[in-house]
Amino acid sequence: MIKGIKKWRLFSLLAALTVFLSGCGEEYISTLTPAGQVASDQLDLMYLSTGIMVLVIIVVMIVYILTIVKFRRSKVGENMMPKQVEGSHTLELIWTIIPIVLLLILTVPTVVVTYNLADVSGMDKKDEEGNATAVTVNVKANLYWWEFEYPDLGIVTAQELVVPTDEKVYFNLIAADVKHSFWIPAVGGKLDTNVENVNTFYLEFDKPSNELETGVFYGKCAELCGPSHALMDFKVKSLERTEFNEWVTNMKDSAEAQAPQGDLALQGQEIFATSCIACHAISGEGSTGGVGPNLATFGDRNRVAGYMDYTEDNIKKWINDPEEYKPGNLMPQPEDLNDGKKYTEQELSALAEYLMGLSVEK
């Protein structure tokens, strides 16, 4: 009997936990499932502030409900004339001082965390050989795509950020055209990418993204930037440090490693070399400055154009009519590159084949 109750208790706890966890959203995008120190600091502040605020709400609601119940006209009578009270200095003092105390409780951690999160001194630390100890990423936000440059490592990629886990990763943020905002909800709060100045902060990634259901963390643009603002997503792969180092090495060799395999891919490369290459680099080695996203790791990507499912069909759709899928984006329509004609189905297949072969991980 007692055992049964215990089981029942466990079950109800489990049920409550399930409801709670499902209420926290998807762990690759929810701020309630923090995957790093920054996000968990911020979540702690949320619990603290929510706690204080719920306390305030409870007090207000108790007085409120008592008032409505006790002093309704149907209860106290139509002709009851209330005493005309002027006020009470004691009460005014109480409800001035108690909120001040409650706010002070919130103020202290707020100020401390504000300063902590702004501490980017680790960015300039060098080891004995003069190499930076931490990974720094220069993020450049463009109309509906993201460029990630690793200045100390001499590599650059786009749309999918790759970072090492369990260490501080520093970010320099700027926008190339209009203001955007760089946000990876599960990992930490956002920071704007302004057009005129570089903003700097750090994030920490606690777990490798391959443990996630989607394999990547979701990143968002959080500042209205034009018609396709909603589609300006990026993805984040967090790797163990050793895997990350491997990825960096592969990126440096990507120009050779990504040689096309098979006739179709070769045909694709030919088309690419006469049109796409004007804007899209295919080598991961290099620095910022691409007109369009660097495609070095296109074969390893999780999404097409940052948000569409990664399928050959979607790649073809995207190349065939970028304006349809991201209104207002700056990629030319194919007819602008191909003497006023759309690419044929066969040419699109060739391009897709070629692009899907651009991999450093496979």
Partner 1 sequence: MSLIAEKKSFGAVLWDYLTTVDHKKIAILYLIAGGIFFIIGGIEAMLIRIQLAVPDNDFVAAGLYNQILTMHGTTMIFLAAMPLLFAFMNAVVPLQIGARDVAFPFLNSLGFWMFFFGGIFLNLSWFMGGAPDAGWTSYASLSIASPGHGIDFYALGLQISGGGTLIAGINFLVTIINMRAPGMTYMRMPLFTWSTFVASALVLFAFPPLTVGLFLMIFDRMFSGNFFNHLLGGNTIIWEHLFWIFGHPEVYILALPAFGIFSEIIPTFARKRLFGYSAMVFATVLIGFLGFMVWAHHMFTTGMGATANAIFAVATMAIAVPTGVKIFNWLLTMWGGNVKFTTPMLYALGFIPSFVAGGVTGVMQASAPLDYQLHDTYFIVAHFHYVIIGGVVFGLLAGLHFYWPLMFNTMLNETLGKITFWLFFIGFHATFFIQHFLGLLGMPRRVFTYGADQGWDLFNLISSYGAIFMAVAVVVLVANIIMTIAKNQPVGRDPWEDGRTLEWAIPQPVPFYNFKQTPLVRGLDTYWIEKQEGNKEGMTYAEPVMDIHMPNNSIIPFIMAFGLFVGAFGALFNGEKAWAVPVLILGLLITFISMGARSLKDDLGYHIHKEDLLNDKGGKH
Among 18, 197, 245, 287, binds partner 1 (CB under 8 A): 197
Among 16, 17, 46, 291, binds partner 1 (CB under 8 A): 46
| Helix H or strand E segment including 296 | none
Site for partner 1 in 61-80 (CB under 8 A): 61, 63-64, 66-68, 71-73, 76-77, 80
CB neighbourhood size of 232 (10 A): 26
Site for partner 1 in 261-300 (CB under 8 A): none
Minimum separation from the CB atom of position 75 to partner 1 (A): 9
Q: Which residue has the tokens 């706010």?
A: 103
Helix 345-356 vs helix 312-320: angle between axes, to the nearest 10 degrees?
120
**174 versus 239: smaller Cβ distance to partner 1:** 174
Among 136, 157, 209, 228, binds partner 1 (CB under 8 A): 228
**143 versus 296: smaller Cβ distance to partner 1:** 143
Its sign, for the CA torsion 355, 149, 206, 18, is negative
Site for partner 1 in 295-314 (CB under 8 A): 307
Task: Provide CB contacts within 8 A for 197, sequence distance 6+.
Answer: 174
How far apart are the C-alpha atoms of 97 and 317, rounded to whole Å?
A: 63
Question: If binding is defined by CB under 8 A, does position 218 make contact with partner 1?
Answer: yes
Question: If binding is defined by CB under 8 A, does position 122 make contact with partner 1?
Answer: no
Asked whether 293 and 159 are in contact (CB, 8 A), the reply is yes
Among 179, 264, 332, 359, binds partner 1 (CB under 8 A): 179
Which of 12, 96, 329 lies closest to 321 in space, CA to CA? Answer: 329
Among 35, 36, 39, 354, binds partner 1 (CB under 8 A): 39
Question: If binding is defined by CB under 8 A, does position 45 make contact with partner 1?
Answer: yes
**162 versus 222: smaller Cβ distance to partner 1:** 222
**96 versus 242: smaller Cβ distance to partner 1:** 96
Binding piece for partner 1, criterion CB under 8 A, among 4-12, 42-50, 275-283, 340-348: 42-50
Task: Provide CB contacts within 8 A for 194, sequence distance 6+.
Answer: 173, 174, 175, 179
How far apart are the C-alpha atoms of 93 and 32, rounded to whole Å?
A: 37
Question: If binding is defined by CB under 8 A, does position 32 make contact with partner 1?
Answer: yes
Minimum separation from the CB atom of position 19 to partner 1 (A): 13
How far apart are the C-alpha atoms of 270 and 188, rounded to whole Å?
A: 42
Among 37, 150, 163, 188, binds partner 1 (CB under 8 A): 188
3-state secondary structure of 201: strand
